[in-house]
Structures are given as structure tokens and as C-alpha cells.
């Protein structure tokens, strides 16, 4: 852009910010606090976004494109302002405008809160896919819930996790738009009555039901573009909070406050469980709310431009992300039968054409099942449909496998008083996908084997990816600039380009630059650790701040939900071994190691909370030891979320991906870390396997542990005692769990002893060392030694790191959405039409020249 035009634009942008300060907040810029300027800037950007959003919508409508509707209970978008500016390619302009106002973008960005509407990987993946859908210009709308309280805020009081409500909506959110016009009515419970549609299909309807009104809020998801023609996708989230109808006044008058407000509070709280289902009544209501409100919206949208539903299966694709929204299957059936008088077979054909399902887990405890009685009571109409679907599924199994009643039992949707949501989702979908090659194999060969044998074509793999725009371009500006300097800017929207970085891997100059960038990023993290991560006593009083090792140390990170299968415990046991070693001989190790943990435990997950306590106890021992702490330090960063990830990941050297092989469906942190130049110490699990293949064994030095196959062979006869008895350092580490050398009080002693028991002497009938920690520990320990040897040779380390970054090309979520579009949805890209864009721009105002882009 010509300098004069640039200056003029910056001037206009600054004026518009002033305009909003006055018209929305009644203040002038000289008196405006940061929060007000943040808000005014967001409002200003919204103008430009609204233009493109409107034009994107018109383009899709005019082209009658087949649309994707993505249904998911969780999203973790991260802070929006910075990312939106980056995707609009407006950083320079915004900085110039703010400079004129004497403000600084870094300060404003801090005013925003993370919309933490998810637990972990599942929700963040959904947000990565949305970024890619928008950037790659696919016609898509995503649906979710607008939880008043997102995932809890984590504080740690003397090693104990304390949960606080995450009130992200305390201030008005400038990125959302309330759409009262699109409210939907959702009905629960009621008295069932039999009815028949015009085609003679018998159904259940309800009288005297509870009716809940779901109100829509829309959030714009902005696609990356250098020009001003970016696409915008919609994330529509439902709330039941603000409709007076949802409040049951009669119950209130009868003194039943709990019951009176149940439906106003329905979307209040996100259930804080990751990879673990707990069959709660309100959760079932939430799931149905999402399914029902969204499908009504989808149908209505279709009918806006079509006289009937004839072309519905050509124009609509519904992605069921994990089983949580699977009731969309029975709800779409119901609406087709009841409102549109389809025959049963016709309706089923439509459902199967439109729906597809992604599975995200193989853990038994995360596969959703609902109590049959509960579903029958809360959702009588849907239950009736599922019952019939179950009958038909069973009959089709009998037809294909005559006489195999055991198989029928295994496959049925309703069994032993439980409704198995995965079976419903598979049966109602035309495609089912896993999220990494290994995961999909396990779906086909183990957990959904019977379904695979029914219909092998249905099962496909689409390996997860992450967006390089948030996790590299936006959050690691130093490394981004380096990459762009070396290979140009194409990688931002075509990550396969990153492969070219291999050319620089052995170049000493590039290695030096890379190491310098890491150091700077580590310095940022060190400041963060010193200032923003206080240490609290058992009452939550701040008693000090952590003082990290310097940037020369290896920054070794494990950042993810705390879960036994992810094996943070193995990491800790290794640290205890290291501690013992350093205690005996402080010069036994050549490099300094700064270990970082971050992650939340589900509030009801006792063992995970004990593991956090253990991390703290070991950290305390290590960090307060004058000799050991020169070489080793351990930090736990509180309240892991997208924003914390954006600070930690660019500063990481070593990425811990150490789950028991066969348990982590994919992992996505593994990709983010490798993309930012961390080397992976990892098992053969999830997407890590494919990352290794892409990088090549020669540049993947720290693989270790038993494979999924080896584990399943070992399982029946596994006995960690042999190892414990014969490997002294391992025994000493495990013994530290109960010899009072770590515990400072009885409560801690109890906690650590029960960890010991889970490893070696389980109570009840639990399997011993369920996640094979003792079995993999030696191999992990040996590999950690290799890590230290390589880290002692910085140039070599940098060469490996550059090869790892270069190998991440196929792990962009852009690649994932292209695969879904081709293999599952059959949708085409639909770039915003330039004529439509200029028409909307003109209508917006020919004279209002505050537009920020207009290049």
C-alpha cells in the first residue's frame, strides 16, 4: 500500500475508535481506560467484519452451495482480537492507528478473556477446524452452546487444585451478536400420546411438556486473507439464559426454586469432564438442546430459499462431533416424519445422507451411554424413534449374520437399560472417522469391529491438524518472521510449503537464528513465570513467586489435561529418579532442565488431582534444594488455556507425548509443539506416529516405549513387580511415593500411597498399573538421557528442530478440512463474491470512509 493511503487509513481507523468511545461509552480518548479502547477497537473492526460476513452469506445463498453444519458441544476459540487482526492482515494498520491514540495493542489484547467453552483437545480441534473452514472458504456454520461459565479456572493451593467459576461473560462480549429472530423452541418430558403421520408412520407426541426457548448468539470466524476479501463463517451458540419463558413461575410460586430455574440455567455450566462421561440429567438436556435447536435452524434456513425439503440431502451436511450431538439423528427423523410427512424409509435415507460422525476416543469411560429410563422420561419422542431404529439395526444384523444373536446384542443401540450413543451415531451416519491412522485402526479392529464388518466402506481416517495461523503466525511472531524470510508467505495458507525449510536445516546461520528465537521466546516465558504464576499456601494466600532456570536450560513441557492415560505420573517418576541422582552427585548431568507442567484435572477425578499434588511435592523438593535446583527445576503453570498455550509453546524445546500406546486418539498439542520447533519425546500413539513418519526416523530421535500391539500382548500377563524388584532406581522412585520422603503431612501421604497402590498393589479388582507406566519407565529414562546428549550440541539440536518443523506440512487443519470436504461432506469452496462484497460495501455507506482495509 502506498504510504499516503496507509496513513490516511490509519487516521480513519483512529477516528472510528474515537467515534465508538463517544457514541458507545460516552468518553473521549484521553480519559478512556484500556478496556474501553479495547472495546472501541473491536467495534471498529466489527464494521469491516460485518461487511464480509454479510457478503459471505449472500454468496453462499446465491450459489446454493451445499453447506456444512458442524455440531459440537465444545469450542475453545482463544482470544479473538489479536487473531482476528492477524487473519485480516491488519496488524500494521491497527498498530499505526493505536500509536496515534497513544495506545498499544499488547495492552488491549490483555483486556479480553478466553472464551473457554471446552475441556481440552476436542474443543480446540473444533476451533482449529473452524479457522480452516473460514480460511479455505468453505460454506459452513458451526453450532454450540453459550455456557455462562466455561471450563473452571484452576488455582493451586499448596498442591491442591481449587476450581473457580470461569465468568468469561462478566463484561459484554464485543464479538457476539444476539439473534432473537433465530430463537428455537425445544421440548422436554411431557405426557406421551400416539399419533400417525400422513404416510401412516406411528409416532409419539407429547402434551404438557416443558418448553425451553433457545436464543442464538453468533460469533464471526474470520478467514485469513491478505486482501480485503476474507470469508467469514458463523459460530452460532445457544443459550437458555435470557428468555423469561424458561422460568417456571408456577413452580417458583410453589416454593420450588430449583425446579423453577432449571431451564434458565440449562446452558449455565460446561461439564468439566475430559474424556469421561458422567450421565447427568442436565447434560442430557444440554445435548438435546444443541441437537434440536440446531436442526430446527438448519431446516428453517433451507426453507428460506427452497419451497420444500426435496433438495435438503443435496444441500446439507451435518457433522456430529463426538457423540454428544448424536440426538440430531432422531430429531431430524422426527421433524421429517412429523412436520413433513415423510415415510420412515424416506426420512432414514435423508438422515444417513446428511449425517456423519467423528469419534474422538477409544477409552471405555468416555463412550457415552444414557440410562434408558432417563431418556424415555426426558425425551419420549426421541426415545420412541431410537427404539424403532434399534429394532431395524438388529434386524439388519440378523439378516447379514443369521443366527449370531451375540453379535446382535453387541451391536444394538439399546442394551441392558442403556442407550449407546456411539451405536446410534454410527448407524445414522454415512461416514464415521477416527482422528489418526492408529485410532481409526483401533475403531475398525477393536471397539467398532462389528460395525466395520457390517459396512467397511463407512469407516475412514482423517488425521487431525491444527491451524498454523493461530499457533505459529499469531502466537510465535519471531519464528513466523524467520520462516517467511526463508520461504515466503505461502505457508500461511498452504502449510505443505513448510517442507522447504529442510533446505536450511543444516545451514549454520539458520540454526543460529533458530536458537536465538527460541531463547527470546524462553525469556518471555521466564518473565511470565516470575510475574504471573504465584505460589499459594493451603489457604490460597500468595507466598512467593517461582524463579525459573534461565533460557540456556532445556525447556521440557507436558501441557494437556491431567489424565492417567496421558501419564504425567511417568514424567514425575522420572523426575524423582533424576532428583535421586542429582542428590547423590550434583554433577551427574550435563545440561540444565526446566520442566513445565500445565493442565486441569476434572473436579471429580480423584487420581488426577493426586497426581497434581505429587507434581507439587516433587517440585518443592527439587526447587528448594540448593544443589539440585541448579540443574533441575519444576514449574506447574496454573489454569492452562489457549492463551497460556500461546506463551508456553513457542518457548518449548521438548514436547512430552508419552501416553500409553493405543490410548490417545490423536493429540493436537503434539503438532503445535513440533510446529514451533520442539522435539518430541514420544510413544507410538495417535498422530505422533504419523508425525514421526512425516519427519523421518533419522530426525525423530526420541521415540520410546511399547507399541499398542505390544501392550495388548503384554496385558493379560503384565506384572510390574518384576521390574520393580530388579531395577533399583525405579524401585527407589516408586518407593518415594510412600516412604514419607515427599509427603509433608498425612493427607499427602495418603494421596501418594494410593498412587503407589494403583501402580503395584491395586485395591478392589483394578488392574495393576493400568497404563503400563512401570513397563515403559526404563525406556523413557534412557531416552531422556539421549535428549540431554543432543541438547548439549545446540547446532545439532537446531538441525533436528528445523527438520521437525518442516515435517509438519500435512498436519495443518487446512489439510483436515480439505479431507473432510472431499471424503465426507462433498462440499466445494465458495469464496466471497467480489461483486457481492462491493455491493454490500456501497450499501453500508458510500461516504463512511472508516473502513480499515479497502486496499
Interaction site with ligand NBG (CB under 6 A): 120-122, 125, 274-275, 322, 360-361, 366, 435, 464, 664-668, 686
Please tell me the number of Cα atoms within 13 Å of 138 on its side-chain side: 29
Q: Catalytic residue among 103, 384, 566, 692, which? A: 566
- Please identify the residue of the shown chain whose CB is closest to the bound ligand NBG: 121
Query: What distance in Å separates the CA atoms of residue 219 and residue 465, rounded to the nearest whole number?
Result: 22
Yes or no: say if 155 and 639 are a contact pair by the CB < 8 Å rule: yes
Q: Catalytic residue among 124, 360, 470, 706, which? A: 360
Identity of the residue, 336 or 665, whose beta carbon is nearer to ligand NBG in the bound complex: 665
Yes or no: say if 240 and 268 are a contact pair by the CB < 8 Å rule: no
Please tell me the number of Cα atoms within 13 Å of 363 on its side-chain side: 22
Yes or no: say if 478 and 521 are a contact pair by the CB < 8 Å rule: yes
Least CB distance to ligand NBG at residue 74 (A): 8
Q: Catalytic residue among 234, 267, 467, 668, which? A: 668
Least CB distance to ligand NBG at residue 566 (A): 9
Q: Catalytic residue among 672, 692, 738, 810, which? A: 672
Least CB distance to ligand NBG at residue 451 (A): 19
The reply to whether 668 belongs to the active site is yes
Query: What distance in Å separates the CA atoms of residue 649 and residue 666, rounded to the nearest whole number?
Result: 18
* DSSP β-bridge partners for residue 188: 210
The reply to whether 360 belongs to the active site is yes
| Nearest residue to 80 via CA among 41, 100, 109 | 109
Query: What distance in Å separates the CA atoms of residue 7 and residue 98, rounded to the nearest whole number?
Result: 12
Classify burial at 531, counting beta carbons within 10 Å of its beta carbon; exposed 0-12, middle 13-18, buried 19 or more. exposed
Cβ contacts of 62 within 8 Å, gap of 6 or more: 833, 836
| Dihedral angle, C-alpha 91, 97, 98, 99, nearest 10 ° | 110
Q: Catalytic residue among 334, 469, 560, 851, which? A: 560
* DSSP β-bridge partners for residue 238: 145, 216
Yes or no: say if 379 and 372 are a contact pair by the CB < 8 Å rule: no
Least CB distance to ligand NBG at residue 122 (A): 3
DSSP state of 500: G
Least CB distance to ligand NBG at residue 561 (A): 8
Specify the length of the chain in residues: 855
Least CB distance to ligand NBG at residue 365 (A): 11
Least CB distance to ligand NBG at residue 767 (A): 21
The reply to whether 561 belongs to the active site is yes
Evaluated on CA atoms 461, 356, 64, 291, the torsion sign reads negative
Identity of the residue, 668 or 784, whose beta carbon is nearer to ligand NBG in the bound complex: 668
Identity of the residue, 344 or 772, whose beta carbon is nearer to ligand NBG in the bound complex: 772
Q: Please, what is the angle between helix 508-532 and helix 477-487, to 10°?
A: 160
Identity of the residue, 493 or 666, whose beta carbon is nearer to ligand NBG in the bound complex: 666
Give residue for cell 467397511.
456
Identity of the residue, 331 or 664, whose beta carbon is nearer to ligand NBG in the bound complex: 664
Q: What is the 3-state secondary structure (H, E, C) of 793-819?
A: CHHHHHHHHHHHHHCCHHHEHHHHHHH
| Nearest residue to 615 via CA among 541, 690, 687, 559 | 559
> How crowded is residue 704: how many other Cβ atoms within 10 Å of its Cβ?
18
Yes or no: say if 754 and 551 are a contact pair by the CB < 8 Å rule: no
Least CB distance to ligand NBG at residue 125 (A): 4
Classify burial at 25, counting beta carbons within 10 Å of its beta carbon; exposed 0-12, middle 13-18, buried 19 or more. middle
Identity of the residue, 275 or 510, whose beta carbon is nearer to ligand NBG in the bound complex: 275
Query: What distance in Å separates the CA atoms of residue 756 and residue 488, rounded to the nearest whole number?
Result: 53
Identity of the residue, 635 or 671, whose beta carbon is nearer to ligand NBG in the bound complex: 671
The reply to whether 560 belongs to the active site is yes
Give residue for cell 410453589.
254
Identity of the residue, 122 or 235, whose beta carbon is nearer to ligand NBG in the bound complex: 122
Least CB distance to ligand NBG at residue 220 (A): 24
Identity of the residue, 268 or 368, whose beta carbon is nearer to ligand NBG in the bound complex: 368
Least CB distance to ligand NBG at residue 426 (A): 16
Please provide the DSSP assignment of 284-336 as one string: HHHHHHHHHHHHHHHHHHHHHH-SSSTTHHHHEEEEEESSTTTTHHHHHHHHH
Helix (H, G, I), strand (E, B) or coil at 736: coil
Give the burial string for 757-790 (b: 16+ CB within 10 Å, else e).
ebbbeeeeeeebbebbbbbbbeebbebbeebeeb
Least CB distance to ligand NBG at residue 771 (A): 14
Report residue 821 as a C-alpha cell. Answer: 470436504
Least CB distance to ligand NBG at residue 799 (A): 28
Identity of the residue, 203 or 435, whose beta carbon is nearer to ligand NBG in the bound complex: 435
Identity of the residue, 439 or 609, whose beta carbon is nearer to ligand NBG in the bound complex: 439
Identity of the residue, 275 or 783, whose beta carbon is nearer to ligand NBG in the bound complex: 275
Q: Please, what is the angle between helix 328-338 and helix 281-305, to 10°?
A: 50
Cβ contacts of 29 within 8 Å, gap of 6 or more: 17, 18, 21, 37, 101
Identity of the residue, 334 or 423, whose beta carbon is nearer to ligand NBG in the bound complex: 423
Helix (H, G, I), strand (E, B) or coil at 534: strand
Give the burial string for 672-693 (b: 16+ CB within 10 Å, else e).
bbbbbbbbbbbbbbbbbbbbbe
Least CB distance to ligand NBG at residue 250 (A): 39
Q: Catalytic residue among 561, 567, 593, 609, which? A: 561
* Residues belonging to the active site: 360, 560-561, 566, 668, 672
Amino acid at each position: 500500500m502506498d504510504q499516503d493511503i496507509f496513513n490516511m487509513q490509519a487516521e480513519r481507523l483512529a477516528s472510528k475508535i474515537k467515534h465508538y468511545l463517544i457514541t458507545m461509552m460516552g468518553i473521549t480518548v484521553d480519559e478512556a481506560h484500556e478496556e474501553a479502547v479495547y472495546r472501541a477497537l473491536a467495534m471498529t473492526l466489527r464494521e469491516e467484519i460485518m461487511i464480509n460476513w454479510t457478503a459471505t452469506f449472500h454468496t453462499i445463498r446465491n450459489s446454493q452451495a451445499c453447506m456444512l453444519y458442524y455440531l459440537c458441544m465444545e469450542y475453545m476459540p482463544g482470544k479473538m482480537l489479536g487473531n482476528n487482526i492477524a487473519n485480516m492482515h491488519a496488524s500494521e494498520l491497527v498498530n499505526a492507528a493505536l500509536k496515534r491514540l497513544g495506545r498499544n495493542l499488547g495492552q488491549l489484547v490483555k483486556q479480553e478473556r478466553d472464551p473457554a467453552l471446552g475441556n481440552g483437545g476436542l474443543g480446540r480441534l473444533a476451533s482449529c477446524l473452524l479457522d480452516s473452514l473460514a480460511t479455505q472458504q468453505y460454506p459452513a456454520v458451526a453450532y454450540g452452546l453459550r455456557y455462562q461459565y466455561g471450563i473452571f479456572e484452576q488455582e493451586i493451593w499448596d498442591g491442591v487444585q481449587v476450581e473457580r467459576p470461569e465468568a468469561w461473560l462478566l463484561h459484554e462480549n464485543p464479538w457476539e451478536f444476539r439473534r432473537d429472530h433465530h430463537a428455537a423452541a425445544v421440548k422436554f418430558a411431557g405426557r406421551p400420546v400416539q399419533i400417525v403421520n400422513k404416510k401412516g408412520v406411528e409416532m409419539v407426541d407429547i402434551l404438557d411438556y416443558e418448553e425451553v426457548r433457545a436464543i442464538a448468539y453468533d460469533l464471526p470466524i474470520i478467514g485469513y486473507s491478505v486482501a480485503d476479501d476474507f470469508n467469514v463463517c458463523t459460530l452460532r451458540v445457544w443459550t437458555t439464559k435470557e428468555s423469561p419463558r424458561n422460568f417456571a413461575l408456577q413452580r417458583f410460586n410453589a416454593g420450588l426454586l430449583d425446579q423453577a430455574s432449571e431451564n434458565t440455567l440449562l446452558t449455565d455450566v460446561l461439564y468439566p469432564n475430559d474424556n469421561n462421561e458422567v450421565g447427568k440429567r442436565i447434560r442430557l438436556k444440554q445435548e438435546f438442546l444443541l441437537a434440536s435447536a440446531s436442526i430446527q435452524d438448519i431446516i428453517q434456513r433451507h426453507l428460506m430459499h427452497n419451497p420444500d425439503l426435496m433438495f435438503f440431502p443435496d444441500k446439507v451436511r451435518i457433522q456430529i462431533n463426538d457423540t454428544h450431538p448424536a440426538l440430531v439423528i432422531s430429531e431430524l427423523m422426527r421433524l421429517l416424519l412429523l412436520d413433513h410427512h415423510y415415510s420412515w424409509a424416506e426420512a432414514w435415507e435423508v438422515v444417513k445422507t446428511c449425517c456423519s460422525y467423528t469419534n474422538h476416543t477409544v477409552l471405555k469411560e468416555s463412550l457415552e451411554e444414557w440410562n434408558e429410563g432417563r431418556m424415555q422420561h426426558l425425551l419420549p419422542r426421541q426415545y420412541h424413534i431410537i427404539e424403532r431404529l434399534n429394532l431395524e439395526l438388529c434386524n439388519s444384523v440378523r439378516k447379514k449374520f443369521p443366527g449370531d444373536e451375540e453379535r446382535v446384542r453387541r451391536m444394538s443401540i439399546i442394551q441392558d437399560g442403556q442407550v449407546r450413543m456411539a451405536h446410534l451415531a454410527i448407524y445414522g451416519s454415512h461416514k464415521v472417522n477416527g482422528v489418526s491412522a492408529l485410532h481409526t485402526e483401533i475403531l475398525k479392529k477393536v471397539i467398532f469391529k462389528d460395525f466395520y464388518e457390517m459396512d467397511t466402506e463407512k469407516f475412514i481416517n482423517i488425521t487431525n491438524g491444527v491451524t498454523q495461523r493461530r499457533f505459529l503466525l499469531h502466537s510465535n511472531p519471531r519464528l513466523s518472521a524467520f520462516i517467511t524470510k526463508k520461504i515466503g508467505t505461502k505457508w500461511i495458507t498452504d502449510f505443505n510449503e513448510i517442507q522447504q525449510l529442510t533446505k536450511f536445516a543444516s545451514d549454520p546461520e539458520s540454526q543460529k537464528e533458530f536458537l536465538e528465537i527460541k531463547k527470546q521466546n524462553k525469556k518471555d516465558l521466564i518473565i511470565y513465570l516470575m510475574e504471573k504464576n504465584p505460589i499459594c499456601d493451603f489457604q490460597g494466600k500468595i507466598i512467593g513467586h517461582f524463579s525459573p532456570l534461565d533460557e540456556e536450560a532445556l525447556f521440557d513441557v507436558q501441557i494437556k489435561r491431567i489424565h492417567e492415560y496421558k501419564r504425567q505420573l511417568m514424567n514425575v517418576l522420572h523426575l524423582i529418579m533424576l532428583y535421586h541422582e542429582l542428590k547423590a552427585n550434583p554433577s551427574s548431568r550435563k545440561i540444565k532442565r526446566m520442566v513445565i507442567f500445565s493442565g486441569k484435572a476434572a473436579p471429580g477425578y480423584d487420581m488426577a488431582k493426586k497426581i497434581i499434588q505429587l507434581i507439587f511435592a516433587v517440585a518443592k523438593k527439587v526447587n528448594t534444594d540448593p544443589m539440585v535446583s541448579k540443574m533441575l527445576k519444576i514449574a506447574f503453570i496454573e489454569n492452562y488455556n489457549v492463551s497460556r498455550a500461546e506463551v508456553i509453546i513457542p518457548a518449548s524445546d521438548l514436547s512430552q507425548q508419552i501416553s500409553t500406546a493405543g490410548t490417545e486418539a490423536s493429540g493436537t498439542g503434539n503438532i503445535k509443539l513440533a510446529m514451533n520447533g520442539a522435539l518430541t519425546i514420544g510413544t507410538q500413539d495417535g498422530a505422533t506416529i504419523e508425525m514421526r513418519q512425516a519427519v523421518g526416523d533419522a530426525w525423530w530421535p526420541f521415540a520410546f516405549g511399547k507399541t499398542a500391539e505390544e501392550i495388548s500382548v503384554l496385558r493379560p500377563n503384565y506384572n510390574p513387580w518384576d521390574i520393580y524388584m530388579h531395577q533399583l532406581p525405579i524401585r527407589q522412585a516408586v518407593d518415594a511415593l510412600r516412604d514419607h520422603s515427599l509427603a509433608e503431612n498425612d493427607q499427602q501421604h495418603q494421596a501418594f500411597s494410593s498412587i503407589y497402590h494403583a501402580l503395584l498393589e491395586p485395591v478392589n479388582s483394578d488392574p495393576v498399573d493400568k497404563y503400563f507406566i512401570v513397563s515403559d519407565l526404563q525406556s523413557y529414562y534412557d531416552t531422556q538421557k539421549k535428549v540431554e546428549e543432543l541438547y548439549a550440541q545446540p547446532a545439532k539440536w537446531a538441525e533436528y528442530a528445523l527438520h521437525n518443523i518442516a515435517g509438519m506440512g500435512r498436519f495443518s487443519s487446512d489439510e483436515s478440512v480439505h479431507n473432510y470436504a472431499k471424503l465426507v461432506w462433498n462440499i466445494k469452496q465458495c469464496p466471497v463474491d467480489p461483486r457481492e462484497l462491493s455491493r454490500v460495501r456501497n450499501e453500508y455507506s458510500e461516504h463512511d470512509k472508516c473502513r480499515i482495509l479497502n486496499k
